[in-house]
Chain A
Amino acid sequence: MSVIIVLIIISVVVAVFFLGLFIWAVNTGQFDDTYSPSVRMLFEDKKPAYPASPAGGRTGRHSKSQPSRQTGMKEKKDEDKKK
């Protein structure tokens, strides 16, 4: 019967892990704004009118907040404007 004790301990540990995740989420402010994320996830970047960057098409995930790519994109755009 003692195997059930091990199982219970495992189940509680798993539960505590998720509680920890919840605490982390609250403390990093993920519950502070309950509206904007629901809208933000639906934003989609339009396919660029100019040739895509070397790594292939831009996906929503990448174009958001990666500084390295941003600068690249801006240069592209500047070139576009010159034309």
Chain B
Amino acid sequence: MTGKDKAVKTICYHCGDNCDREHIVFEDKDFCCNGCKTVYEILNQNDLCTYYDLEQNPGISLKSKKFDDKYAYLDNEEITHLILDFKDGEKAKVTFYIPSIHCSSCIWLLENLYKLTDGVNHSRVNFVKKEFSADFNPEIISVRKLVELMVTLGYEPSISLEDSNKKNEKSINRSLYLKIGVAGFAFGNIMLLSLPEYFGFEGLEKNIQRFLTYLNILLSLPVVFYCASDYFKSAWSGLKQKFINIDVPISLGIIVLFTRSLYEIISMSGPGYLDSLSGLLFFLLVGRWFQNYTYQGLSFERDYKSYFPLAIYKYVDGILKSIPVNRIEKGDVINVRNQEIIPADSILKSDHANIDYSFVTGESNPVSKNNGDYIYAGGRQLGESINLEVVKPVSQSYLTQLWNNDAFTKEKDESFESLINKISKYFTIAVLTIALLGFAFWVGNDFKTALNVLTAVLIVACPCALTLSAPFTLGSAMRIFGKKNFYIKNVNVIERLLKISHIVFDKTGTITYNQTSEVNYEGVEVEQDDFKNIKALAINSTHPLSRILAESIDENPDNISLDKYEEITGSGLQAEVEGDAYKLGNWDFVNTGEYSSLEITDATQIFVSKNARLLGRFKIENKYREGLKEIVSFLKSRFGFSILTGDNKNEERRLIELFGNSATYKFKQSPQDKLDYIIKLQKQNAYVLMIGDGLNDAGALRQSNIGISVTDDTSNFTPASDAIMTSNSLRDLPKFINFAQVSHAIVIAAFTISFLYNILGISFALTGKLTPLVAAILMPLSSISVVVFATTVTNLMAKIKKLV
């Protein structure tokens, strides 16, 4: 950038970006681009400027967002049918996922959409899920118009193939909320009705006492048969697989609590333990809720469908018509425009195409293709629109076939590995042994006491506090990670982080920057003016490499005029700048026939010549993320490393510099190769952490024991994985792994505390002194103290480890 721009740092009134490239002043307000100004104008005309009062610069930058007739396919009834939730004459309802929703201004504007346009009756935003739903009248405003309006405002809905099999899924949390509510209701009321019992009101009339206890039974019925149902189911399915999970002792405890209470109440020998029972379930369910915390705005389950477009243009009798992507058949001729994704393997029918495969193969530079070339699905066309003849339908393409692999069909079942389930077997056996020993000890004297002891042990040993320790520790850790932009799918991931023995990195986009490259000049020494002229030349081309080159040169070529500018597709550029003839391009284009010391390598490079004399070349290399060296040196001693890349070998030297000789390097890896490599590692007993970013890593992410996808912006597409991480928190990876170990230690400490409670409780039980009152105090006390311990210590440790 030039000095002139640096001096003034104006911030766009709409989006808050710097106005250094373009600066538009409108009504005394600064805007960074026309798009932002337009949004302001629209809002201003409609008296909606409250948008700017709620948050400062709330808008979404509209640079490089042009849609022309990108959404024309939404005029097709068949396609809109896939998107709409509901349509009946003048009423329609639609729900969009809008990744750019980010502040209260967004909510306000989107919910006031009806003021902006006719036909929208009502709109709502679910901020947590980043969902927008609207009731509208399709006869006044079409789906296309609605979407285009939203895109103009900067709220681009994500419409993909995924939407075609959208189901109205209800929040899983709802039933959990209901169960917590019912259990809490029963817990409170039963305790209230048991108060006379706690204080030992002897004078209470017998019939009132009976009435109260029977009312308790009534209240506890929904607790046992509704709230506890999940525990019974889980215990039963565990037992069927000959596996004692933690729900087995819980279920046992619940059943014993309930039957003994029933027996006591009906036989009028005591008031029962129904208060403890409902309290137990209430705490357990709260623990489950805390643990089930999910990042609803993120999706951990995406496959190629949410990357692929919903519709495509196909030639029908020579006319372009939009059809749903799923309906493409072999032999169809389709039209793909600038920035659109090629949905199926096909053969190029146009003369030339420039396809960006970075997301699919990891190859960072666009590939140029010529008429008749075979083109794999998943690439993004850059430049003018192209015609393609489809060879394979969408689901059988080279890329999408990856999802037919076994790794995707079987569920990653990790619950069996968790610490709690490992100890539950021993725990259950120990409790049963103690209970039976106690029974055997008393049975000689008095059968009734013996039975009491047996049931009391089972009741008091019900591992409530034990089951709460892990959810609250790991749940807190998960939230701490979330604050550091490391979003994990569930708490199991933390426990699995402990076991890693090998870390596999993808190169492109993961350890290198996605957008920026490093450009280095090699060759004859040249003057600054030459660079200026070269920039002037490069800036005129839309070729991605020219763009990179132009951006890398810090000169202002504004007042340089070009003569005889010519761009030769597939070769390079040439022009005369102030009398000197410059050529930029590949070796064959620039080579002047003279001897050159520059060796021709595989590296991405642009050669440059001036007046038919070779000057040198610009080498374009990946830029590695900052802080990588520190991570590597920290993790090197503990883990094995592998680097997988779809790129060729020309970065090998730099990779070795970074990761050293002990790491394994694999080049030119296809998505399938990556998956196979992970399987190979796992066969050698490695516990693999895979870090990747693109669709090409999807198989490997899925197969690995933990898959983390790295993204620059969490609203971008990320392939299915166990965790999502923003690229700048990659450097905190050692801290995350370290903190996973810390939280593991905290879980064990919390376990110990709950064991102590259990021992205390069992000693009451064995001596036959476990009165309902003792149980009613001991159980909530143990649960609450474990919860408090787990959450406070975890947060404290996070502070000590400088994670928050």
Given known A-B contacts A19-B185, A39-B127, A40-B107, A32 and B208 have beta carbons under 8 A apart: no
Are B211 and A5 in touch, CB under 8 angstroms? Answer: yes
Task: Determine the chain B residues whose CB is within 8 A of the CB of A36 once the complex forms.
Answer: 107, 125-128
Q: Give the residues from 114 to 173 in chain B that come closer than 8 angstroms, CB to CB, to chain A.
A: 114-115, 118, 121-122, 125-129, 171, 173
| Per-position binary interface string of chain A over residues 1-41, scored 1 when its CB falls under 8 Å from any chain B CB and 0 otherwise | 10011001000100100010011001101011111100110
**A19 to B129 CA separation, bound complex (whole angstroms):** 27
Task: Determine the chain A residues whose CB is within 8 A of the CB of B571 once the complex forms.
Answer: none
Shortest beta-carbon distance from A73 to chain B in Å: 7
Q: Does B189 contact A (CB under 8 A)?
A: yes
Are B185 and A31 in touch, CB under 8 angstroms? Answer: no
The stretch from B176-184, B502-510, B577-585, B594-602 touching chain A is B176-184
Task: Determine the chain B residues whose CB is within 8 A of the CB of A1 once the complex forms.
Answer: 205, 208
Task: Determine the chain B residues whose CB is within 8 A of the CB of A49 once the complex forms.
Answer: 47
Among the listed B45, B114, B129, B193, which residue makes an inter-chain contact with A70, where contact means beta carbons less than 8 Å apart? B114
7 intermolecular pairs with C-beta atoms under 8 Å apart:
A12-B215, A23-B181, A26-B178, A32-B128, A44-B50, A48-B47, A70-B114
Given known A-B contacts A40-B111, A43-B108, A70-B114, A35 and B128 have beta carbons under 8 A apart: yes
Among the listed B111, B127, B185, B193, which residue makes an inter-chain contact with A35, where contact means beta carbons less than 8 Å apart? B127
**A30 to B4 CA separation, bound complex (whole angstroms):** 53
Q: Does B104 contact A (CB under 8 A)?
A: yes
Shortest beta-carbon distance from A46 to chain B in Å: 6
- Report the nearest B residue to A70, measured CB to CB: B114
Task: Determine the chain A residues whose CB is within 8 A of the CB of B177 once the complex forms.
Answer: 26, 31
Given known A-B contacts A33-B126, A65-B122, A27 and B174 have beta carbons under 8 A apart: yes
Are A8 and B125 in touch, CB under 8 angstroms? Answer: no
Among the listed B189, B205, B208, which residue makes an inter-chain contact with A12, where contact means beta carbons less than 8 Å apart? B189
Task: Determine the chain A residues whose CB is within 8 A of the CB of B205 once the complex forms.
Answer: 1
**A12 to B193 CA separation, bound complex (whole angstroms):** 10
| Per-position binary interface string of chain A over residues 40-55, scored 1 when its CB falls under 8 Å from any chain B CB and 0 otherwise | 1011111011000000
Shortest beta-carbon distance from A51 to chain B in Å: 14
Query: What is the number of contacts between chain A and chain B, taking CB atoms within 8 Å?
Result: 83
**A46 to B51 CA separation, bound complex (whole angstroms):** 11
- Report the nearest A residue to B104, measured CB to CB: A39
> Interface size on B (CB < 8 Å)?
36
Q: Does B501 contact A (CB under 8 A)?
A: no
**A5 to B74 CA separation, bound complex (whole angstroms):** 65
Q: Does B592 contact A (CB under 8 A)?
A: no
Q: Does B793 contact A (CB under 8 A)?
A: no
Shortest beta-carbon distance from A65 to chain B in Å: 5
Given known A-B contacts A35-B127, A49-B47, A74 and B115 have beta carbons under 8 A apart: yes
Q: Does A82 contact B (CB under 8 A)?
A: no
Shortest beta-carbon distance from A45 to chain B in Å: 8
Are B121 and A67 in touch, CB under 8 angstroms? Answer: yes
Which secondary structure dominates chain B's binding surface?
helix
**A46 to B104 CA separation, bound complex (whole angstroms):** 16
- Report the nearest A residue to B219, measured CB to CB: A12
Q: Does A62 contact B (CB under 8 A)?
A: no
Shortest beta-carbon distance from B85 to chain A in Å: 14
**A27 to B174 CA separation, bound complex (whole angstroms):** 7
Q: Does B753 contact A (CB under 8 A)?
A: no
Are B178 and A23 in touch, CB under 8 angstroms? Answer: yes
Shortest beta-carbon distance from B355 to chain A in Å: 40
**A81 to B47 CA separation, bound complex (whole angstroms):** 11
Task: Determine the chain A residues whose CB is within 8 A of the CB of B650 once the complex forms.
Answer: none
**A52 to B46 CA separation, bound complex (whole angstroms):** 16
- Report the nearest B residue to A18, measured CB to CB: B185
**A42 to B104 CA separation, bound complex (whole angstroms):** 10
**A50 to B122 CA separation, bound complex (whole angstroms):** 23
Given known A-B contacts A5-B208, A32-B126, A40-B107, A46 and B46 have beta carbons under 8 A apart: no
Are B115 and A8 in touch, CB under 8 angstroms? Answer: no
- Report the nearest B residue to A71, measured CB to CB: B118
Are A26 and B181 in touch, CB under 8 angstroms? Answer: yes
Among the listed B115, B126, B181, which residue makes an inter-chain contact with A73, where contact means beta carbons less than 8 Å apart? B115
**A32 to B294 CA separation, bound complex (whole angstroms):** 12
| Per-position binary interface string of chain B over residues 83-125, scored 1 when its CB falls under 8 Å from any chain A CB and 0 otherwise | 0000000000000000000001001100100110010011001
Are B215 and A8 in touch, CB under 8 angstroms? Answer: yes
Q: Does B72 contact A (CB under 8 A)?
A: no
Q: Does B212 contact A (CB under 8 A)?
A: yes
Are A33 and B122 in touch, CB under 8 angstroms? Answer: no
**A73 to B54 CA separation, bound complex (whole angstroms):** 23
Are B108 and A77 in touch, CB under 8 angstroms? Answer: no
Shortest beta-carbon distance from B504 to chain A in Å: 36
**A48 to B107 CA separation, bound complex (whole angstroms):** 20
Task: Determine the chain B residues whose CB is within 8 A of the CB of A46 once the complex forms.
Answer: 47, 50
Are A39 and B181 in touch, CB under 8 angstroms? Answer: no
Task: Determine the chain A residues whose CB is within 8 A of the CB of B211 once the complex forms.
Answer: 5, 8
Task: Determine the chain B residues whose CB is within 8 A of the CB of A42 once the complex forms.
Answer: 104
Are B128 and A34 in touch, CB under 8 angstroms? Answer: yes
Shortest beta-carbon distance from A83 to chain B in Å: 13
**A35 to B126 CA separation, bound complex (whole angstroms):** 8
Given known A-B contacts A65-B122, A77-B47, A39 and B107 have beta carbons under 8 A apart: yes
Are B128 and A33 in touch, CB under 8 angstroms? Answer: yes
